[in-house]
A and B are shown apart, each in its own frame.
Chain A
Amino acid sequence: MSFNTRCPAVKRLLKEAQELSQSAELFYAQPLEDNLFEWHFTIRGPPESDFQGGIYHGRILLPAEYPMKPPSIILLTPNGRFKVNEKICLSISGHHPETWLPSWSIRTALLALIGFMPTMGEGAIGSLDYSCEERKDLALKSINFKCSVCNVSNSEILPELTDKSNEDCAEARELASQIQFKNSKPSEEQKSQPELTRRNVASSSSENSSANLQTNVPPVDNRIQTSTTQANNSTTLTIMIVLSGLFIFLLLRRIYLIVDRDPFSV
């Protein structure tokens, strides 16, 4: 791989890759071999939460303007807190917008994500409010998750959790109070997720399809077939909305026609 080292983002990411090359107990992240702007990461669920014992894998996408603009994160392991295969961005509708600071790093983003997991979803877009049992169940299953790109199972990636990580855990909680995450951008691909619970599958059909109306999908992976099915989904949804709108209109019109002989005539 050759890089343009005059580009500050490249220099910065190479440094970050170097800094994170040793796996920490709470997280591990490295760039893909052929793309410095896409990383894969593994994080440990925060202790004393429903995610305790869980190990979750995902992707980080770095914008060309990084570190001026924040990275986005995509979780691949089902977790019951965030939808999988969808970008999680810093909230732009939060109380304080533009909360990303250029002096933060991928490490900061991952710690913030860990700290943010136990917070309430409260119906925010892309967040999932699964029950404690479902989350604990997913946490148990998560350690066997194997990323098809990295080809390593989650349980083999991180070293054992010890007291050494207490500081990191505290930092994660602190960061979570400053940074907000939510699924925001449309999902780029829908890999088959056999571990998905029935509920996730059922709910995702409507949620994903509406997000997919967005056309500005960053080309990271060519999964043309799946994206076509998603496009079909979204078309169906649009048609349904238009039809139901028309139906309501006609119904209201009918009601008015009964009450008042001709409200629409001029």
Chain B
Amino acid sequence: MNEQTTQEFDFKDEMIDEKITAQQEAIENEIAREQKLISDLIKLDSLLDEYSLEDTIYRSKIIELSANFSLVRKTRGDGNCFFRAFGFRYFEAIMGKPDEVKRLKDLANKICTDLNQLGYNSFTVDDFKDVFVEELERLADKSDVKLLEEIFNNPGSSDYIVVFLRLIVSAYLQKNADFFLAFIETYQSMKEFCSHEVEPMYKESDHIHIIALTNALNVSVGIIYLDRTDQTEATPHNFPEDSNPNIFILYRPGHYDIIYKN
């Protein structure tokens, strides 16, 4: 009889991983059904529907914010939201500007060289860069929002762009490890940090990712923090600090969406 009980326990243990995987997949599928990778433009006011009438802090901050920002695009909450939001908005900002597109393309090639020097397999890295550059070049001489939406809502191209943005962050952090190591707690080396917190898909982004990405691409981004702190206004935070961005991202705890200034 004892043997039987043990067997029952082993059996349960064995099922846990299966259950976790199945549950994760179910959640992912549901999110994928309900939420596009990048949504159409919607009014900022419509975010009010997400909060109850009693939730005065969020509601008053959103109303306050709508004086300067009127439109948003929501991103899918799959852990890639910062990278996808940034990628979409940055592509949108430079599409139809061949000079800017060329600058980013040259930068992408240079980052690949850096990654090779860091010991990355050039054929997989180039694969991501190639898709990144290909999609970018489709937008080089036309402002085509429909095409941009199509590129970022197609999981194939969209995820490849996210991977390459993650690699850009990883390369930048590893090249500037001396400086950034001071901000890392649980990991022994920058390489280890990057392979656990930066490069895996679906890993959420933090301050350090944003600093690295904006520095690596030399792009200015404003993050608007909408949270439950007691101030009346949502707090804007520019990366780099003294810059004057025209790309804005709305941060609510755990999630990034795109937001547009009037």
Contacts and interface: CB of A to CB of B under 8 A. Distances in A.
B1 A102 contact: no
B1 A103 contact: no
- Please classify the interface of chain B as helix (H, G, I), strand (E, B), loop, or mixed, using the class held by over half of its residues: helix
B163 A103 contact: yes
Contacts, number: 98
Given A98-B203, A100-B200, A103-B199, A241 B8 contact: yes
Contact of A211 (B1, B14, B128): B14
Interface stretch (A8-16, A24-32, A74-82): A8-16
Contacts of A6: 156
Contact of B127 (A11, A98, A99, A244): A11
Interface stretch (B40-48, B118-126, B214-222, B235-243): B118-126
B163 A68 contact: yes
Given A241-B11, A244-B1, A8 B20 contact: no
A210 B11 contact: yes
Contacts of B4: 240-241, 244, 247-248
Interface string A227-266: 0000000000100110011011001000000000000000
B127 A15 contact: yes
Interface residues of A, number: 45
Contacts of B11: 210, 237, 241
B121 A103 contact: yes
Contacts of A103: 120-121, 124-125, 128, 163, 167, 199
A216 B22 contact: yes
Given A210-B15, A241-B4, A245-B8, A7 B124 contact: no
A210 B14 contact: yes
Given A103-B163, A244-B1, A248-B1, A92 B20 contact: yes
Contacts of A92: 17, 20-21
Given A93-B16, A99-B196, A103-B163, A248 B121 contact: no
A95 B11 CA distance: 22
B189 interface: no
B196 A19 contact: no
Nearest to B200: A98
Contacts of A197: none
A178 interface: yes
Contacts of B167: 103
A68 B201 contact: yes
A121 to B, nearest CB: 14
B262 interface: no
Contacts of B7: 206, 241
| Most chain B CB within a 10 A radius of its CB, from A65, A67, A100, A207 | A67
A178 B195 contact: yes
Interface string B1-31: 1001101100101111110111000000000
Interface of B: 1, 4-5, 7-8, 11, 13-18, 20-22, 120-121, 123-125, 127-128, 131, 155-157, 159-160, 163, 167, 195-196, 199-203
19 contacts: A9-B156, A12-B124, A15-B127, A65-B159, A92-B17, A99-B200, A102-B201, A103-B163, A105-B123, A105-B124, A108-B121, A125-B14, A184-B17, A210-B14, A214-B18, A240-B4, A245-B8, A247-B1, A248-B5
